[in-house]
Structure 1
């Protein structure tokens, strides 16, 4: 579906308006639309990861990125340039994924534990070409555990945690994407991690009690 993006690269017809200002505006719009197209084609996997991390469904994520591109294409004339096109489009993708999530009433996503070093190692392990069976089994169990307990987090905390740790967004980027202040983002992340740790520990305690 995302290959359809390439068909949106077009050369706008000559402006029928006489004003040089209007002609410049048309040229700027054309250049920005071409920049958007190049961005989505080049970094489509990045935007898919953002949508997928919220929706946990590949097909739904592809639909979100495609519809987000169409919406951004149509709205490009209103792009003010306050941020980069990538940041602007990422915000559109994230917001549309959240709306889709609400419609689907799904509450699953991925969180990659607590420390940045562990997060980086954990994410890299997913792309490893060859792994021994024990490593694969351990990772799958960890992923299942994290997914299960992520459902207990409030929606906003879950989204911010996903953007910051899984998609490598900085605190400032998360703040811009969610329309929040940096202190608010830090508070959501701290609360989300604390709640997740508590949920996991509580779950392990119940497992041990059952085993006895």
Structure 2
């Protein structure tokens, strides 16, 4: 575990430094360099852990603990590897460990029986950068984002993490393979299956939403009925010409 070095008056800049340079400096106790690593990879690690834990608050705790583990082990990082995949492995182990500690069923990411999953049988259970930034557009995008997040959360565990790294973080097949210790063929298969399940789920959500579109019950119905009745009363009470 590196000891935190005192910051010199002219500490080397972290902006523009490569991951390997930052890792080497962190191994010497440079907390500023490690902070740069965290800021650079926070989103990747959060999304990765979130794909396992499906809880924002627990994911934040897991990411923090993963970084502490990374800090203690940074001296073992090999500069011929990618720091991002090294960090992903650490945060996945931390997230899976949390699942085990709370007694949840943990399906290994390299499990052999996860590639035959039936579509979601309950389509109604999950409900639903614009240039002009109009409030209506922003609200619509927020609803779509929430719908997507709910559907991603419902993907099978092994598929969800592959999808998060490939589609959301845009990691390559090779990078995802290394990060998850999976054969590249398995990464491709699970990513394809995840996209298929996601499309099926979103399509069903759209069908449910279309059934509710332009709903005519509730206040709108009451308002029209009241308006017509009021007009009838007015017409009846008005003297005939």
- Distance in 2 of aligned mates of 1:104 and 1:143: 30
Give the aligned partner of residue 81 of structure 2: 83
Q: Which consecutive residues of structure 1, in runs of 5 or more, have no partner in the other structure? A: 1-6, 12-28, 106-124
Which of residues 167, 183, 186 in structure 2 aligns to 1:184? Answer: 186
Trace 1:8-19 onto structure 2 (pairs within 5 A). 9-10=4-5
User: Under a length normalisation based on structure 1, what TM-score does the superposition of the two structures give?
Assistant: 0.63
In the TM superposition, residue 171 of structure 1 has moved relative to its aligned partner by 1.3
Q: Which consecutive residues of structure 2, in runs of 5 or more, have no partner in the other structure? A: 7-22, 105-128, 216-241
What is the Cα-based RMSD across aligned positions, in Å? 3.5
In the TM superposition, residue 151 of structure 1 has moved relative to its aligned partner by 2.9
Whether contact under 8 Å (1:72, 1:89) holds in the other structure is yes
Larger helix proportion, structure 1 or 2?
1
Which of residues 31, 36, 45 in structure 2 aligns to 1:42? Answer: 36
Trace 1:13-162 onto structure 2 (pairs within 5 A). 33-34=27-28, 37=31, 40-53=34-47, 54=50, 55=53, 59-81=57-79, 83-100=81-98, 103=102, 125=129, 131-162=133-164
- Distance in 1 of aligned mates of 2:86 and 2:181: 12
How many residue pairs align between the two structures?
A: 168
- Distance in 2 of aligned mates of 1:52 and 1:78: 23
- Distance in 2 of aligned mates of 1:175 and 1:181: 6
User: Under a length normalisation based on structure 2, what TM-score does the superposition of the two structures give?
Assistant: 0.56
Query: In 2 relative to 1, CA 208–30 (structure 1 residues): closer, same or farther, beyond 3 Å?
Result: closer
In the TM superposition, residue 153 of structure 1 has moved relative to its aligned partner by 1.0
More deviation in 68-77 or 166-175? Answer: 68-77
Q: Secondary structure at the match of 1:153?
A: coil
Trace 1:190-205 onto structure 2 (pairs within 5 A). 190-205=192-207
